[in-house]
Structures are given as structure tokens and as C-alpha cells.
Structure 1
């Protein structure tokens, strides 16, 4: 019965450390330790050596499942547009080229700012209109606006 309590305490300590760090590194080993507490209560005949092996397997499986799920469903980027800013138009204030980022200005703020660093795959001159194609880190990928 002592191993049940030991696994439970280890799990709770890891979960408390996880809450303080907020990194998710200790979440799954903590959950695995709590699962081991339940496992050792249900199957007390397993030796400590076997329980440690099973704990390692639970921990690795939990992390692998979490990582696979994270890759399949990436978390939304907080504070950045999820497509609603794509297509917004602005004016280039510092020339942009594939080799050199420039600046783009908007009449109304885009995600909290009127001026952004602009990246482009083609040359765009000063005072030429451009539109947002994508949000890339702290800048915007832009393309020249076709003029009719």
C-alpha cells in the first residue's frame, strides 16, 4: 500500500511543479505517476522494478500521444490574426524587395498597429498599394495590389 501513496505523491508533486512552470513538460509524467498509483492499487503484486518500467512506458506513451495530437491540431497563435486580416490593403512606406524587408502602413490599425514590417516575393515601390497575404511572426507577407 505504501507504493500507492508514493506514486500518488510523486504525481501530485509533478503536477504542482507543472502548474508553477506552465511548460507542459511535467504534466504527462505527473499524470503517468497518478495512473501508476491506481495501477499499483489494482495490481499490488507487481514489484517496484516492474512498476518503474510500466511508469516509464506510460510516460513515454503519454508524451508521444500528446506530441502527435499537437502536430495534427496546432494551437491557434494568440494575438495574431487567423485569416481575418488577409486581403487588407495598405500603402508601402519603405520599399520592399525579396532581399530586403520594408514597411507598410494602414489607414486603420491591423492587429493593434498601423505600421508593420513587410516582406514580399517581388519588388514593391514606395507609395504603391499592397495587400496582406500572410502573417509571419512580427511581420506581414504582402503582395502588390493589381491596378486596373
Structure 2
């Protein structure tokens, strides 16, 4: 009942202040949702300044504006693809495709080992002796696929 009394006393300004408080809370609790509820609060206040709907209608306006703005933000942010100067940063196996290296261990029954950088990788391919020069052509999970180069 105190909220209703507050809204009745301060009207549109209570919505604008509440919206600003929600925007300030976004700085403390990041995630993006409070931005859009804050914007909805400010817009509800501006609508209430122009027209004086009863308080249940004001809450309805606030709820609808919040939902619409959050759903629009989710839709836009999910469809956005971020450009990267290093698109293979977290795909180590894909970074090695096309490189050539020398087998540390022979490939027996299709599997062996190969040192690349600071890691020893499991490799698959045709049976080959140790010391054979190979080219990495792909990956299956953490197993590099190789062929003779």
C-alpha cells in the first residue's frame, strides 16, 4: 500500500526516479536487464507526465515496456556476431590445420604422437614411421588428423 501512496503522491516523477535507480543498479549488478527495466520506468514516467492513467494501468505500461525492451535486446544481441582479430583463439586444434611437423612416435594402427609448441598431441592417419614429415589436415576433438606431406 505504501507503493500505491507513493505513486499517487509523486505520480510520473516516481517512475522517472525508479527508472534512474534501476539504471544506477545496472552498474553494480551487470547483465543488461536492469538497463531495459530502467528505460521502461523512465518511459512510463514520461507517458504518465503527458497522460494521467490510473496506477494499475501505469504498472501494466511498465510491465509491457520492460518485456518488449528486454525481448528486443535479447533478440538483437543473440543475432549479433562479434568480429574478432583472432577467431581461432580457443580452438587450438583448428589453429594447427595446414601446418607441417615431424612425428615423434610412429603411427601404429592409425594413431601416434606429435609435439607442437609446448604440447604433445595425439594424431591419427595412415601408419607412418617416427621422423616422417606430416601435414595437419583437420581435427576430431583433440586428435589431429595428418597425412604425409
Using the alignment, how far apart are the partners of 1:90 and 1:63 within structure 2?
49
Q: Is the 8 A contact 1:87 1:132 kept in 2?
A: no
Is 1:26 the counterpart of 2:34? The answer is: yes
Structure number with the higher strand fraction is: 1
Residue pair 1:131, 1:145 contacting (<8 A) in 2 also? yes
Q: Deviations over 1:81-101 (max 9, x none)?
A: 3148855337688xxxxxxxx
Rounded Cα–Cα distance in structure 1 between residues aligned with 2:62 and 2:138: 49
- Structure number with bigger Rg: 2
Q: Is the 8 A contact 1:28 1:63 kept in 2?
A: yes
**Pairing partner for 1:52 from 59, 76, 85:** 59
1:51-130 correspondence to structure 2 within 5 Å? 51-75=58-82, 81-83=86-88, 86-88=94-96, 89=99, 106-107=116-117, 114-115=118-119, 123=124, 130=136
Instruction: Decide whether aligned partners of structure 1 residues 130 and 34 sit closer, same or farther in structure 2, where only a CA change above 3 A counts.
Output: same
| Other structure's SS at 1:63 match | helix
Higher share in helix: 2
Check the 8 A contact 1:90/1:131 in 2, yes or no: no
Computed over aligned residues only, the root mean square deviation of the Cα atoms, in angstroms, reads 4.0
How much does 1:73 deviate? 1.3
Q: Which runs of 5+ in 2 are unaligned?
A: 1-8, 105-112
Residues 141 and 10 (structure 1), Cα distance of their counterparts in 2 relative to 1, 3 Å cut: farther
- Is there any run of 5+ residues in structure 1 with no aligned partner, and where? 94-102, 108-113, 134-139
